[in-house]
Structure formats: structure tokens, C-alpha cells
Amino acid sequence: MFGLFNSASKAYQDLKPAEFSAALRQPGIVLLDVRRPDEFAGGHLPGAVNIDVTAPDFAQRVAALDKAKPTYVYCRSGARSATAAGQLSKVGFEHVSNLLGGVLDWPEQLVR
């Protein structure tokens, strides 16, 4: 009974850090950091756009992004970005991927 409303599969994919890193080399992607601005300022993946998934204007700000471009989301541990990936998929983003483990598991240098 508890799984009754969770029977639909996810509309986004979870990627391990190595897969996520390889995918970021594609041209024309959107890399979205959904952490708080202070976390983003402390270090982020190169080329990332910061839109805080917990901010009240999250839906409004992501509406300005191109829904047809592959969109890669991450956060600190992968939990908030999974929430964001689900929200993006619901509003029509076609190709959404979530970084499993977030920046905690990211093996490469972050930039400021």
C-alpha cells in the first residue's frame, strides 16, 4: 500500500561521479548547482549556475532555462539535487541527470 503512489519510475537518471564528469564534456549542457549561495561560493564545479532548490523562487528561476538542453544537477550529497531533478522533470525538462553523492563524492577540484 505504501508504494501505491510511488510506482512510477524516475523521470531523471542518477549518475556516478565518473559518469557525471564524462557527461559534462558534452557541448550545450546546463550544469546546475542547487545548493545555497554560501555553499556555492565555497567551491563549485566549473561552469555551474547556482539556483538554490530551497529558495522560494526556484521554480521561477529554472523556468528561464532551456528545457531541451541536457541538464545536470548536483548539491552537497545528492539529496537536494534529487529533489530538484524530480521537479525539473515534472515541469518538462527533457534530459535531467543527478550527481550521486554530490560534491562530497566529487573527485575533481572545485573552483571559486
Per-residue pLDDT tens digits of the chain, which is 112 residues long: 444 454 457 899 999 999 999 999 999 999 999 999 999 999 999 999 999 999 999 999 999 999 999 999 999 999 999 999 999 999 999 999 999 999 999 999 999 9
* Domains of the chain as residue ranges with CATH: 13-105 (3.40.250.10)
What CA–CA distance (Å, rounded) separates 88 from 40?
Answer: 20
* Per-residue confidence (pLDDT) for residue 52, from 0 to 100: 98
For residue 39, the one-letter residue type is: E
Give the active site residue among 31, 75, 82, 100.
75
Q: How distant is the alpha carbon of residue 90 from its chain centre? A: 14
For residue 1, the one-letter residue type is: M
pTM given for the model:
0.91
* Per-residue confidence (pLDDT) for residue 1, from 0 to 100: 43
Question: Cell digits for 37?
Answer: 549561495
* Per-residue confidence (pLDDT) for residue 54, from 0 to 100: 97
* DSSP structural state of residue 103: G
* Per-residue confidence (pLDDT) for residue 3, from 0 to 100: 42
> Which whole-number Å values give the CA distances from 58 to 1, 26, 65, 83, in the listed order?
32, 25, 11, 12
* Per-residue confidence (pLDDT) for residue 10, from 0 to 100: 86
75 is catalytic: yes
